[in-house]
Chains A and B, each alone.
Chain A
Amino acid sequence: MAIDIYKINPEFRDIMPQEIIDLEENATWAQNQKKPRGIKELPDTKELLEEHSLCAGCPEAAALRYVLAALPKPEETIIVNSTGCTSLMFPHIALHTVHSLFGNQNAVASGIKRSLAWRFPDKVKDVVVLAGDGATVDIGLDYTLQSFFRQEKITTICFDNEVYANTGGQESGMTPKGQVFKMAPEGKKFEKVKMWELATTSGCHYSINMTASAPKAVAKAVREAILIARDIGPTYLNIYTPCILEIGLSANEGLGEMKDQDKDRFASYKYVSDEAAAHLIKCKEEGLL
């Protein structure tokens, strides 16, 4: 995919919606920029996300804004997603996205990455998996871990809301012990899966556990993870984006909840392999970070 597909045919320019024109004129594509992309451009440029259908105040939507703003090269990025609240946003994104079967996202992404490497050997193509905790850790755990074992060069981002939110609140592997939901009235009986540690032991070169309470930190992590996945191997980000509806908070309380969990269940965890750390230093020297 090239940036050319966003160029509007001059003959049709007068009937195009303003949002499409903005996308051509005012969006931050890596090709048009000297400096790396980042959240600093969010306040005054067109975003790659457009009028999504998530609830008012949903932290997941904010996190997606940071992820999209931090992609090093959006015009050459393909996002693979899975069923869940995140999949409601993907029809509103100006990038190529692939919707996989529930849980299959890492297997699908592996195939896409390999075929792109074969089809475009001289181009950089990033494949990013973006799915919820149900798809990544519960139903799709097998596929996620197998892609780490195989050292597939893809970035896996898990939006961890600790529950199957859009089907009414069933417990998932990521739900903390004792938590009660509408469709899990007895409370969870065992501990939350520490997926970020599993990712480290399964061969990921970069594994992070964080909340989406600090936009800059999320953007930095996404950028580093994608750059490492390009050349070294699999990377994993676990980002806490609480479902304010299921845990019973008002629309404006999501950010406070994330800030509270910064010190508790989502205390910062970061693993970078030696190889990846050396690569990051190299990227910094080249001006990619």
Chain B
Amino acid sequence: MYYIAKVDADMCAEYKCNTCTLYCPEANTLMFDKERNTSYVDVDRCKGCELCVYVCTDMLSRNCVSMLTPHELKEEQALAAQK
């Protein structure tokens, strides 16, 4: 079982910061959407190291990033699509 990072877009958009995208060790994995002012995760590339959680929660105390299993992520996306 492995985990994938998920950015809460609404919370992230309040800060307009892209600190996590700089600290992610993977290339082109955590990217920043300039129109929506939020970071987002390329799910296929994420290795689940949780460094973005360390940056957002421990360094910046903002709690915008959480770790989910691929199954939970799918369920959440399905829920969002229903809305």
Chain A residues with a Cβ under 8 A of chain B: 39, 42-44, 46-47, 49-52, 54, 56-62, 65, 215, 250-256
Q: Encode B8-40 as 1/0 by CB contact (under 8 A) with A.
A: 000000000010011111111011111000010
> Which residues of B are at the interface with A, using a C-beta cutoff of 8 A?
18, 21-28, 30-34, 39, 45, 47-51, 53-55, 58-59
Interface centre among B26, B39, B50, by most chain A C-beta atoms within 10 angstroms, is B26
Known pairs A56-B48, A62-B25, A255-B59; list 7 more (Cβ under 8 Å): A42-B21, A43-B39, A44-B33, A51-B27, A52-B26, A59-B25, A256-B58
Contacts known (A42-B21, A44-B34, A51-B45); A254 close to B51, Cβ less than 8 A: yes
B32: chain A residues within 8 A (beta carbon)? 43-44
Q: Which residues of B contact A215 (CB under 8 A)?
A: 22-23
| Residue with the greatest number of chain A CB neighbours at <10 A, chosen from B39, B49, B55 | B49
Q: What's the Cα separation between A56 and B50 when bound, in Å?
A: 9
B49 and A251 contacting across the interface, CB-CB below 8 Å: yes
25 pairs, CB–CB < 8 Å, chain A vs chain B: A39-B22, A42-B21, A42-B22, A43-B18, A43-B21, A43-B31, A43-B39, A44-B31, A44-B32, A46-B28, A51-B27, A52-B27, A54-B25, A56-B47, A57-B47, A57-B49, A61-B25, A62-B24, A62-B25, A215-B23, A252-B50, A252-B51, A252-B53, A255-B51, A256-B58
> Are A65 and B25 in contact, with the CB atoms below 8 A?
yes
Considering only CB atoms, which chain A residue lies closest to B54 in the complex? A252
3 smallest CB-CB distances across A and B, nearest first, come from: A57-B49, A43-B32, A56-B47
Q: Which residues of B have CB within 8 Å of A47?
A: 27-28
Query: For A51, A56, A58, which residue has the most chain B Cβ atoms within 10 angstroms?
Result: A56
User: Closest CB-CB distance, A109 to chain B, in whole Å?
Assistant: 24
Neighbour of B55 across the interface among A42, A46, A255, CB < 8 A: A255
Contacts of A50 in B (CB 8 A): 27-28
If A43-B18, A44-B34 touch, whether A58 touches B25 (CB-CB below 8 Å) is: yes
What CA separation (Å) do A43 and B42 show in the bound complex? 12
A44 CA to B27 CA in the complex, in Å? 11
Whole-angstrom distance between the Cβ of B1 and the nearest chain A Cβ: 14
Residues of B within 8 A of A46 (CB): 28
